[in-house]
Structure 1
Amino acid sequence: MPDLAAALRPLLPSPLQSVRDERFERHGVGLLLKRDDLIHPDLPGNKWRKLAPNLRAARGRPVLTFGGAYSNHLRATAAAGRLLGFPTVGVVRGDELADRPLNPSLSRCAADGMRLVFADRAAYRAKHEPAVLARFVAESGAEDVYVVPEGGSNAPAARGCAELGAELRDDPAGVGAAAVACGTGGTLAGLAAGLGPGRRALGVAVLRGSFLGGEVRALQQAAFGGRAGDWSVEDRFHFGGYARGGPELDAFAADFEDRHGLPVERVYVAKLLYALSVLAAEGAFPRGTALAAVITGRPDGPPPAP
């Protein structure tokens, strides 16, 4: 496995941009955008930060991982395999998809050389059980695989995301709080640890349910030996669940794009920015807070300009 940074040349630290937005300024909050979406065209945002330590641990072995039909994590893993020359296997939730034409997201995975294994939902839910995992490995035809969990969130990933917190901690902008949209919790676990004392990390859940806090605690225990940093999860802004939204969220995202020229990814980033605007109005951040919103991804299309 070649040196990842030398081979892929990620943009690190990612830029931190200040934006003028009266929805925050009227409450004394300065909004900053941590442009992790610019780290790499094929492995943007937390995909780089979570995958890089896992790829180093894999040492060129085949990587098997999991995701849904539109998983950005699967796409990033497949792209890394193409760029670095190692085999990849994606276990896809939904065995009915095997009999349908591949959607654009899975087509990209296949074009990048990923072997796709379609799993029924019961088996997918049991993917961590040794017998079920062994079946997926056998179906893939790969040997000596390195397994990365769904979303890429494990202890190495959390340690990788601690570098995000450290970048914000050490930035001269004086970041007092940082927020990130959360699916599996790995980015929040590392962000909070890297920010260190005196700074707050907030995770905005994009899925329904109250499980995320427990996931973050477990990841921090595995990665850092216990709770690390001041963090919390806000679960009011999932808009009905993963990849769900509605007219209010769409209107907010379109308005933010018009105001600031930032293409807003709808599944994660739109919910994050919307949540922060509401929380600022509710007085959740003390006046004078420099608030960093981590932009973890972008809509499909060419990379945006820095």
Structure 2
Amino acid sequence: MDTYDPSALRPRLPSPLEAVADERFARRGLTLLLKRDDLIHPDLPGNKWRKLALNLRAAAGRPVLTFGGAYSNHLRATAAAGRLLGFPTIGIVRGDELAGRPLNPSLARCAADGMRLEFATRSAYRAKHEPEVLAGFLERAPEGTYVVPEGGSNALAAQGCAALGGELSGRADVAAVACGTGGTLAGLAAGFDGRTLGVPVLRGGFLGGEVRALQEAAFGGPRGDWRLDERFHCGGYGRTTPELDAFAQDFEARHGLAIERLYVAKMLLALVSLAEEGAFPSGTRIAAVVTGARDQSVSSR
């Protein structure tokens, strides 16, 4: 492949929007729609494609250095993009205690796709945004390396995700998305003409500030009508509960769709719970953004 433009990978855009017959919504006069971003590309599905596309164009074939945990879907997507488009990738992994252990399936996939993995101490990882710490990582990288932040969330990522809002405008009244680092929500809300619900998968209550900062960087100020519901993280990032798993299994049985546990299941649980609470008026069309595929999920940890 002689181009570094990710459009050469022929993403499926706009992604499908599928109506789902679910009596938990129908009996309240609500319509549930699934925005199948998981079908955009087999190796860069969902919000990973939308957040990376503009960043990869900006990198223009230079090496890309980015950050993630041991099970990071963002690291996997970046490594896959490097393999498919022919540029080097470097992954800074949280936890130097992992360096001497066998690679888990996620990291093994990154390595197989050609990503150079470096294991950072947890203190250095927390300080990765500080100039001197980042400079230390870049000292070991090739000259001209392009840096993409953890989760891929920066101004370009938010701008890329604004197209998602555009695809849903006029077709839904509420759009819901699971949130890790906030980039998808920031862009979705900016491009959508309805109300946007973000469902954080982390504890801590900090995400609102992150979304506002991303919108400031990407669009020059606040955009869209968005809010967060922080009740459905199920213990925090990378964690599930037996109740969440039972909910996801029930949803799979009802609709024949495999549900990713760490993000998508939490967002769907939020929507069902909010519908039962009467949070949406009759006639509301609710679009649930499916940001990842089931095989990306990992067990509780």
Q: TM-score, normalised by structure 1?
A: 0.95
What corresponds to 2:147 in structure 1?
A: 147
What corresponds to 1:118 in structure 2?
A: 119
Alpha-carbon contact 2:83-2:114 (below 8 Å) kept: yes
Give the Cα–Cα distance (whole angstroms) in 2 for the partners of residues 134 and 223 of structure 1. Answer: 24
- Superposed CA offset, 1:133-183 (max 9, x none): 1111223x322111000000000000000000000015xxx3101000000
What corresponds to 2:44 in structure 1?
A: 43
- Superposed CA offset, 1:226-254 (max 9, x none): 11000001100001101211111010000
Q: SS at 2:208's partner residue?
A: helix
**In the alignment, is residue 281 of structure 1 matched against residue 283 of structure 2?**
no
What corresponds to 2:182 in structure 1?
A: 185
Structure 2: stretches of 5+ with no match in the other structure? 297-301
Give the Cα–Cα distance (whole angstroms) in 1 for the partners of residues 76 and 24 of structure 2. Answer: 35
Deviates more, 1:87-96 or 1:244-253: 244-253
Give the Cα–Cα distance (whole angstroms) in 2 for the partners of residues 149 and 33 of structure 1. Answer: 28
Q: CA deviation at 1:4?
A: 2.0
Q: Which amino acid aligns with 2:70?
A: A
Q: CA deviation at 1:8?
A: 0.4
Q: SS at 1:51's partner residue?
A: helix
Q: SS at 1:117's partner residue?
A: strand
Q: CA deviation at 1:209?
A: 1.0
Give the Cα–Cα distance (whole angstroms) in 2 for the partners of residues 74 and 259 of structure 1. Answer: 32
Alpha-carbon contact 2:4-2:86 (below 8 Å) kept: no
For residues 87-126 of structure 1, what are the structure 2 equivalents within 5 Å? 87-126=88-127
4+ long deviations beyond 3 Å = none
What corresponds to 2:83 in structure 1?
A: 82
Residue correspondences, number: 294
What corresponds to 1:23 in structure 2?
A: 24
What corresponds to 1:234 in structure 2?
A: 229
Q: Which amino acid aligns with 1:176?
A: D
RMSD: 0.9
What corresponds to 1:2 in structure 2?
A: 4
Q: 1:277 to 1:155 in 2, by over 3 A?
A: same
* Alignment match of 1:212 (pick from 207, 216, 235): 207
Give the Cα–Cα distance (whole angstroms) in 2 for the partners of residues 2 and 210 of structure 1. Answer: 38
What corresponds to 1:304 in structure 2?
A: none
For residues 164-183 of structure 1, what are the structure 2 equivalents within 5 Å? 164-170=164-170, 174-183=171-180
Give the Cα–Cα distance (whole angstroms) in 1 for the partners of residues 30 and 145 of structure 2. Answer: 47
Q: Which amino acid aligns with 2:5?
A: D
Structure 1: stretches of 5+ with no match in the other structure? 302-306
Give the Cα–Cα distance (whole angstroms) in 1 for the partners of residues 267 and 103 of structure 2. Answer: 30
Give the Cα–Cα distance (whole angstroms) in 2 for the partners of residues 3 and 94 of structure 1. Answer: 32
Deviates more, 1:280-289 or 1:30-39: 280-289
- Superposed CA offset, 1:177-230 (max 9, x none): 10000000000000001103xx10000010001101000000000001111000
Q: SS at 1:300's partner residue?
A: helix
Q: Which amino acid aligns with 2:76?
A: R
Alpha-carbon contact 2:55-2:156 (below 8 Å) kept: yes
Q: CA deviation at 1:25?
A: 1.2
